[in-house]
């Protein structure tokens, strides 16, 4: 365990680098992000961060491995596959809306769409696929949309995350907006996302340890035992903002899409291992 003074110094270095957009681009940010966690937790292999807190908490990891023998998210994956293969009323299907028929593409989302000038998440792409084909959009927190996302994540397991920031000032602006969100204080508790998952990663909150930011998007959608269901990454964003007593944005808002863009880019090179199971 690093001494508090060293931990503060490393955090200061990371915060300094990430706050200098004129000097540091997204790739420099990503390298600094990884270097921070590598120095903070030198015994944790880089590829373990896709397992969230189970990379940092050996006892919790044992329990998680037992759960993974009969994954509670299997039903969502199966439901998602059935939905994915169902044709729309016009005869088309989800496979017609995605590269490679929608199989093994999760690692490329979210992506910046130059034609639309915005970040498009997988869930947004799924709903737009539906509306373009004359179907009604699913609610963002619907079981159907989460199941579709879970199935597509399953088909991408083991594929390295490869989110691109094209040479487009609008894409860079979206990335920077997501980064600002992550490091900005909010709510009555005056917390930023980074306060829990960078500064306090590995520390206790009540009876549980806090996970590290690195690798967070890799295992979503996630089955949460406390909720008894699979949830999306944006649902988790919503809950975190609410828990610091701030007013949450709607799921798939521009704010959350940009946040996902930044956070997923930070995990580039790590593999997709969703859907996952967490407390």
Q: At what angle do helices 122-132 and 143-155 cross, to 10 degrees?
A: 110
208-209 vs 118-120, strand pairing mode? unpaired
pTM above threshold 0.85:
yes
Residue with the bigger pLDDT between 203 and 102: it is 102
Q: What is the mean pLDDT of residues 178-196?
A: 97
Q: Indicate the pLDDT class of residue 204, thresholds 50, 70 and 90.
A: confident
Domain ranges of the chain: 50-279
Distance CA 33, CA 26 (A): 10
Tokens linked to 71: 């994954």
- Domain 50-279 sits in CATH 1.10.510.10: no
Give the tens place of pLDDT for each residue, 211-242.
Answer: 999 999 999 999 999 999 999 999 999 999 99
Active-site residue, 97 included:
no
Give the tens place of pLDDT for each residue, 19-34.
Answer: 554 457 999 999 999 9
Q: Say what the pLDDT of residue 27 is.
A: 97
Distance CA 120, CA 20 (A): 26
Backbone torsion region of residue 134, taken as left when φ is above 0, otherwise alpha when ψ lies between -120 and 50, otherwise beta: left
Q: What is the mean pLDDT of residues 193-218?
A: 91
Q: Indicate the pLDDT class of residue 205, thresholds 50, 70 and 90.
A: confident
Which of 13, 129, 196, 240 is catalytic? The answer is 240
- Identify each DSSP E strand in the chain by its residue range: 111-113, 118-120, 204-205, 208-209, 222-224, 229-231, 276-278
Q: Say what the pLDDT of residue 102 is.
A: 98
- pLDDT at residue 11 is higher than 90: no
Give the tens place of pLDDT for each residue, 261-274.
Answer: 999 999 999 999 99
Question: Of 259, 165, 267, 252, which is closest to residue 212 (Cα–Cα)?
Answer: 267
């Amino acid at each position: 365990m690093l001494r508090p003074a060293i931990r503060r110094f490393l955090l200061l270095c990371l915060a300094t680098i990430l706050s200098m957009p004129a000097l540091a681009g997204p790739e420099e940010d990503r390298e600094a992000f990884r270097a921070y966690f590598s120095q903070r937790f030198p015994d944790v292999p880089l590829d373990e961060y896709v397992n969230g807190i189970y990379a940092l908490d050996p006892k919790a990891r044992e329990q998680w491995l037992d759960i993974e023998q009969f994954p509670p998210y299997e039903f969502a994956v199966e439901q998602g596959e059935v939905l994915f293969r169902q044709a729309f009323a016009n005869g088309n299907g989800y496979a017609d809306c995605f590269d490679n028929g929608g199989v093994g593409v999760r690692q490329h989302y979210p992506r910046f769409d130059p034609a639309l000038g915005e970040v498009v998440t997988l869930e947004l792409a799924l709903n737009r696929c539906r509306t373009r084909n004359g179907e009604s959009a699913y609610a963002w927190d619907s079981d159907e949309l989460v199941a579709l996302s879970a199935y597509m994540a399953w088909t991408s397991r083991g594929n390295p995350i490869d989110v691109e920031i094209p040479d487009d000032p609008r894409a860079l602006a979206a990335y920077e907006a997501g980064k600002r969100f992550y490091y900005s204080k909010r709510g009555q508790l005056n917390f930023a996302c980074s306060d829990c998952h960078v500064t306090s990663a590995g520390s206790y909150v009540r009876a549980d340890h806090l996970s590290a930011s690195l690798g967070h998007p890799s295992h979503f959608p996630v089955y949460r035992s406390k909720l008894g269901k699979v949830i999306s990454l944006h649902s988790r964003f919503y809950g975190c903002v609410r828990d610091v007593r701030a007013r949450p944005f709607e799921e798939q808002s521009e704010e959350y899409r940009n946040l996902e863009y930044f956070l997923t880019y930070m995990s580039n090179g790590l593999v997709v291992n969703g859907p996952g199971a967490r407390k």
